[in-house]
Chains A and B, each alone.
Chain A
Amino acid sequence: MTDGTEPGFIELAEVAKAFQVRRKAGRLRRSRHEVRAVDGISFTVGRGEMVGYIGPNGAGKSTTIKMLTGILVPSSGRIRVAGIDPSRERTRLARRMGVVFGQRTTLWWDLPLRDSYELVRRMYRVPYDTYRKNLDRCVELLDLGPLLATPVRQLSLGQRMRGDIAAALLHDPEVLYLDEPTIGLDVISKARVRDFLREVNASLGTTVLLTTHDLTDIEQLCRRVMVIDHGRLVYDGGLAGLHEVGESERTLVVDLAREMAPIEGVPGARTVKVEGPRQWLAFPASQSAAPVVAAVAERWPLVDLSVREPDIEDVIARMYTGRAE
């Protein structure tokens, strides 16, 4: 195994997946109807990358993950993970990947957590010392120690999720797919899961692809983000670049010496709100704040100021609605 990133560990070329859906059309007639869940997606992910995959419900995120794991065959296009066609050699690939579906569990419901891990060890034929080492690390970082003897049905959602993530990592997978790993978790559990994923990616070089609705996951974990909407990739790049694409705005909040009429005539900025002596000015996120601040300070009695970064959620919400015609 090489370390560092290696281009094209995961490769998708013009991948599409269409489903046949039957719809009622009249009393007895059913019309066949094609739904293109994924509609021509291409991207590559290098080994060791940690990529966020986001989009609104029904955008095609889970369908993509299912194709990457080999449990769905694409209708067209080409997929390679570590050079393997997932749907053709599902079992061979299964030994090299870990999968966590936030809303499904792979753990044995009635048995203690430890028993599920023993089964994973045998299923993936993990040598005992590797298993021991991986389990110890997961137990320590995910704080599973007190839970190992607890039957899974008695675990809370956050505990179960940590248990599931550990189960997906015991066999040293080269790639980890996480489908909404923080869904339904409280703030502390989310933070713990994120810390753990960051640690796994950094110290083991595990390639991570995660879908989420929680953009904090992306902000804290991923340098690269892919946005999918209506089955198409609408953005692939750094988090910062999202702001440009999403035409997001930063806000300059100024406190003036007294109540005044709305500030006007500052190049590139417009006043969006006035509340007593405080005023809010919006300007493009791509533009520097300095000339705006200078222009205000020159002509108005400025007491205090602050700059607010655009909210990533707003940016993405604008992207989705912008495409919904």
Chain B
Amino acid sequence: MFWHRTAGGGAVGGAVALYAAVARGGFRRYATYRTATAAGVFTNTVFGCLIAYTFQALWHERPHLGGYDQAQALTFVWVGQALLATVALTMGGGFHEEMQERIRSGDIAVDLYRPADLQLWWLAADLGRAGFQLLGRGVLPMVAGALLFDLALPASPLLWAAFLASVALAVTVSFALRYLVALSGFWLLDSSGVAVLSGLAAMFFSGTLLPLRVFPGTFGEVVRMLPWSSAHQVPADVLLGRYPGLGLLGALAFQAGWAAVLLAAGRLLQAAATRKVVVQGG
């Protein structure tokens, strides 16, 4: 028997191949549940209509609220519905229920002895999941919204490309937040309470309830600076062209900055959690 080393390609290439395979797996495992996807598309479309009619009424009374015209406000709604399952910050449905369960049952110990990084593994799996959800549960509600309502979708391919980049960053920020929530299970044993709180906070602070630009004064300034705005407000504004010129890069940098900070916080917490498990036996 021989102890095999990397067959060329180097450690980095091997790691990229591994996490790419994990992401593909994340994509495929969600793709196997077709009925659930169809039900999700239906739900997102129905809720999109309800919120769209509410926003329509609101913008009829108060045109240009938050600097959006009615078509832009409706686009904001449908971007939110398209991203709901993809970003998975408010309603659950991502990796964190699974990770919570593994922490609770102790199965997480199995993950620890593998020669792979826990955070990168889950991030890759969640990005794969998000990729499927964007195609499976994002595109159709968006098309339905565009058919049923008058939306302000851009023609510029640059804006769409920036939008996709912004969505990828939105998923990463969302992942980083949910990872912190899931890790709290190492201390709380059951982190579902924290998860509910986190979901409620995200519902408001991401702009899903009302666009954050609607809120005036210091409060508005502050909520727009918080990480949650990366999940809905920023990608929607990117698509709506609210960041002219270099502002677009600034918006993406804002998301990337929060992603980096929160992922780093996750690493610290993960190290503490691992220490706790390894020393105290969970």
Chain A residues near B (Cβ < 8 Å): 1, 17, 19-20, 37, 63, 66, 69-73, 87, 90-91, 94-97, 99, 101, 104-106, 108-111, 115, 118-119, 122-128, 130, 151, 171-172, 174, 204-206
Choice from B4, B18, B106 contacting A122 with Cβ under 8 Å: B18
Does B66 sit at the interface, judged by CB under 8 A? no
Could you tell me if B28 and A123 are in contact, using CB atoms closer than 8 angstroms?
no
The answer to whether B107 touches A72, judged by C-beta atoms less than 8 angstroms apart, is: no
Chain B residues within an 8 Å CB radius of A71 = 109, 112-113, 277-278
**B148 is an interface residue with CB less than 8 A from chain A:** no
Give which listed residue, B3, B29, B105, B279, contacts A110 with CB less than 8 A.
Answer: B29
Per-position contact with A for B100-132: 1 when CB-CB < 8 Å, else 0? 000001110110111110000000000000000
Contact of A172 among B4, B110, B112, B279 (CB under 8 A): B4
A91/B21 contact (C-beta < 8 A), A115-B28, A130-B4, A204-B1 known: no
For residue B35, CB closer than 8 A to chain A, the reply is no
In the bound complex, do residue B278 and residue A72 qualify as a contact, i.e. CB atoms below 8 Å apart?
Answer: yes
B126-153 CB mask vs A (1 if < 8 Å, else 0) is: 0000000000000000000000000000
- Evaluate contact between B281 and A94: CB separation under 8 angstroms: no
Cβ of B32 within 8 Å of any chain A Cβ, yes or no, is yes
B115 touches A66 (CB 8 A): no
Task: Tell me the bound Cα distance from A9 to B215 in angstroms.
Answer: 67
Q: Which residues of B contact A (CB under 8 A)?
A: 1-7, 14, 17-18, 21-22, 25, 28-29, 32-33, 105-107, 109-110, 112-116, 277-281
User: Which chain A residue lies CB-closest to B24?
Assistant: A115
CB <8 Å contact, B25 and A108: yes
How far in angstroms is the closest Cβ of chain B from A217? 21
Would you give the shortest CB distance from A233 to chain B, in whole angstroms? Answer: 20
Q: Which residues of A contact B5 (CB under 8 A)?
A: 125
CA–CA, A310 to B110, complex, Å? 38
Chain B residues whose C-beta falls within 8 Å of the C-beta of A111 in the assembled complex? 25, 28-29, 32
A97 to B1 CA separation, bound complex (whole angstroms) = 13
Of B1, B28, B116, B278, which contacts A73 at CB under 8 A? Answer: B278
Is the Cβ of A125 less than 8 Å from the Cβ of B1? no
Instruction: Compute how far the CA of A101 lies from the CA of B111 in the bound complex, rounded to whole angstroms.
Output: 12
- By a CB distance below 8 angstroms, the chain A residues around B18 are 119, 122-123
**Number of A-B residue pairs with CB-CB distance less than 8 Å in the complex they form:** 97
The winner among A20, A73, A130 for most chain B CB atoms within 10 A is A73
B residues less than 8 Å from A125 (CB atoms): 4-7, 14
Judging by beta carbons under 8 Å apart, are A101 and B278 in contact? Answer: no
Q: Give B101 Cβ to nearest chain A Cβ, in Å.
A: 11
**Given A110-B32, A119-B18, A171-B4, A94 and B25 contact (CB-CB distance below 8 Å):** no
- Chain B residues near A151: list those with CB within 8 A: 32
Task: State the Cβ distance, A30 to closest chain B Cβ, in Å.
Answer: 16
Q: Which residues of A contact B33 (CB under 8 A)?
A: 110
Q: Which residues of A contact B14 (CB under 8 A)?
A: 122, 125
Say whether A206 contacts B116, CB under 8 Å: no
Q: How far is the CA of A110 from the CA of B28 in the complex (A)?
A: 9
Expressed in whole angstroms, the minimum distance between the Cβ of A100 and any Cβ of chain B is: 10
A164: shortest Cβ distance to chain B, in Å?
Answer: 10
Roughly how many angstroms separate A13 CA and B277 CA in the complex, as a whole number?
23
Q: Smallest distance from the beta carbon of B204 to chain A beta carbons, Å? A: 32
List, in ascending order, chain B residues with CB within 8 A of A73's CB: 278-279
Q: How far is the CA of A171 from the CA of B113 in the complex (A)?
A: 14
A90-B113, A127-B7 known; A172+B2 contact, CB < 8 A:
yes
Say whether A95 contacts B115, CB under 8 Å: yes
Contact status B113-A94, CB under 8 Å? yes
Report the bound CA distance from A124 to B109 in whole Å: 18
- A selection of 10 A-B contacts at a CB cut-off of 8 Å is A1-B1, A69-B113, A73-B279, A94-B114, A95-B115, A104-B105, A104-B110, A108-B25, A111-B29, A127-B4
B279 CB contacts on chain A under 8 angstroms: 72-73
- For the complex, what is the distance from the CA of A199 to the CA of B29, rounded to whole Å? 34
Q: Which residues in B have their C-beta under 8 angstroms from that of A124?
A: 4, 115
When chains A and B are docked, how far (Å) is the Cα of A20 from the Cα of B4? 40
| Whole-angstrom CA separation of A75 from B3 in the bound complex | 30
In the complex, are the beta carbons of B21 and A101 less than 8 A apart? Answer: no
- Complex Cα spacing A255 to B58, Å: 99
Report chain B residues within 8 Å CB of A119.
18, 21-22, 25
In Å, the complex CA distance between A70 and B112 comes to: 9
Q: How far is the CA of A73 from the CA of B2 in the complex (A)?
A: 28
Sample of 15 more A-B contacts, CB < 8 Å, known A71-B109, A106-B114, A124-B4: A63-B281, A69-B113, A70-B278, A72-B277, A94-B113, A97-B113, A101-B110, A108-B29, A110-B32, A123-B114, A125-B7, A128-B7, A172-B2, A174-B1, A174-B3
